[in-house]
Amino acid sequence: MTTKDTKSTKVPHTLPLRIFVPFVVKIKLRFPVKHNALINWTTFLSRHTLIPMKRDYSAIHPELRLFARFTPKVTYNRHNVWLFHRILGAARVSIPPRDLRIHNAWVPRRGDQTSLRLRIYQPDALAAPSGTMLWLHGGGYVMGTPEQDDKRCAEFVRELGMVVVSVDYRLAPEDPFPAALEDSYTALTWMASQAQQLGIDSARIAVAGASAGGGLAAALAQLAHDRKDIQPAFQLLIFPMLDDRTVLRGDGVNCANVIWNQKSNRFGWESYLGKACGNEKVPEYGAPARREDLSGLPPAWIGVGTLDLFHDESLAYAQRLQEAGVACEFYPVQGAFHGFDIFNAGLPVVRGFRESQISALSQLSSSSTAVSRLSPHTSK
């Protein structure tokens, strides 16, 4: 794959505003705050959440260096996570697309009287029951909403002609493990029960997600395998958050620390698992990488940047899947940091990453879901 030289990569001067403006808009809409209050919040963020990054960007992919340089470096914690949850919630598609339908559905949760919100993306027409995807958003298990992935889910619908269902699962620390996983399982079983109404084939459901959503998708595949009510046909894990033991590595794990750093990672895992985080034993399904027997799980695609905090755990999980006889394609992106694909979908390095996902999922359009063994893909 060819790459552009750093000097020729055009990055808007307003890059940081692309991240923080939605938050400002959201605050203005929901809270009658004054301009000075916004300045005070900006000062608070700069003093308490922004952290410096080493000035050497040479290891970062040339197409991503300026994005890394101008992206605010944030450490998430219990004091600021609610702010960034609002930022992510404001990232929905502003104008509904004409070529597909986006709507919400509420389904009863298992074991209580509350409802779970699902965000459904459907093409205008389905010629026949199609493969489909259950999508789980990222956010370190502590923040995020389905709306933050409106554009990504719409792209899957357009490229594959399939229905996508995104889950508004409960978040830690207010609702720690297993709340998010049980919500995900509720959504999976609902999709199977509503297959005819949705126009999908319940035998061809992929579970997918990014970051913490990728970790949830992996755990959901394990849980569904063991409960045997419904078996997902495929798992798409995008820079997945799989292993709580990564928090024990004090060397920074050779990651770029652009979007998600070691302190944020510890906060996310401790919020989700509580005191069990990093211990010898964690609850079953709490950290997917802890599972000993991976045999019988669905075929998988796993993609991650080589400078991502989750690179090593993603590679190890891919290798273990293969050793267990599970078909798995591993797609590492040289010099890419966590969440690198959110900045500019037109960059060749991002296009290649997403095209590989589309290619893997396209197999759901037929009855066969086999994928290649661990592949030595390298995006340069």
Q: Same domain, yes or no, for 83 and 193?
A: no
Residue-wise pLDDT tens digits, 325-348: 999 999 999 999 999 999 999 999
Q: Output 145 or 254, whichever has higher pLDDT.
A: 145
Q: Same domain, yes or no, for 66 and 198?
A: no
User: Cα–Cα distances in Å, from 274 out to 23, 154, 278, 286?
Assistant: 29, 35, 10, 11
Is-catalytic flag, 308? yes
- Among the listed residues 130, 184, 202, 211, the single catalytic one is 211
Q: Same domain, yes or no, for 246 and 169?
A: yes
Last residue of a domain, one of 62, 87, 112: 87
- Among the listed residues 150, 183, 308, 341, the single catalytic one is 308
Q: Same domain, yes or no, for 81 and 101?
A: no
Last residue of a domain, one of 50, 67, 87: 87
What does the pLDDT average to over 135-160?
95
pTM of the model: 0.84
Q: Is residue 193 part of a domain?
A: yes
Q: Same domain, yes or no, for 136 and 55?
A: no
Strand order of the β-sheet with 234-238 is 100-108, 115-123, 163-167, 130-136, 200-210, 234-238, 300-305, 328-333
* Interatomic CA distance for residues 67 and 61, integer angstroms: 10
Q: Which domain holds residue 268?
A: 97-365
Split into its structural domains, the chain has a count of 2
Q: Is residue 101 part of a domain?
A: yes
Q: Which residues contact 325 (CB under 8 A, 6 or more apart)?
A: 295
Last residue of a domain, one of 51, 69, 87: 87
Give the β-pairing of 234-238 and 163-167: unpaired
Q: Is residue 370 part of a domain?
A: no
Q: Same domain, yes or no, for 14 and 127?
A: no
Is-catalytic flag, 251? no
* Interatomic CA distance for residues 194 and 54, integer angstroms: 50
- Among the listed residues 338, 341, 356, 379, the single catalytic one is 338
Q: Same domain, yes or no, for 274 and 173?
A: yes
pLDDT of residue 53: 44
Q: Is residue 58 part of a domain?
A: yes
Q: Same domain, yes or no, for 161 and 297?
A: yes
Q: Same domain, yes or no, for 245 and 343?
A: yes
Question: Could you give the percent of the chain with pLDDT greater than 70?
Answer: 79
Q: Same domain, yes or no, for 25 and 117?
A: no
pLDDT of residue 21: 37
Choose among 368, 68, 66, 62: nearest CA to 204. 368
Residue-wise pLDDT tens digits, 106-115: 999 988 889 9
Q: Same domain, yes or no, for 296 and 148?
A: yes
Residue-wise pLDDT tens digits, 205-224: 999 999 999 999 999 999 99
pLDDT of residue 88: 78
Q: Is residue 380 part of a domain?
A: no
Strand partners, 233: none
Residue-wise pLDDT tens digits, 305-315: 999 999 999 99
CATH code of the domain covering residue 136: 3.40.50.1820
Residue-wise pLDDT tens digits, 22-64: 333 333 333 333 333 333 443 444 444 444 444 688 999 999 9
Q: Is residue 204 part of a domain?
A: yes
Q: Is residue 301 part of a domain?
A: yes
Q: Is residue 33 part of a domain?
A: yes
Q: Same domain, yes or no, for 78 and 35?
A: yes
Residue 155, pLDDT > 70, answer: yes
Residue 372, both tokens = 């290649």
pLDDT of residue 251: 59
Choose among 314, 349, 316, 319: nearest CA to 335. 349
Calculate the CA 163 to chain-centre distance.
18
Is-catalytic flag, 338? yes
Residue 303, phi then psi, degrees to nearest 5 = -125, 140
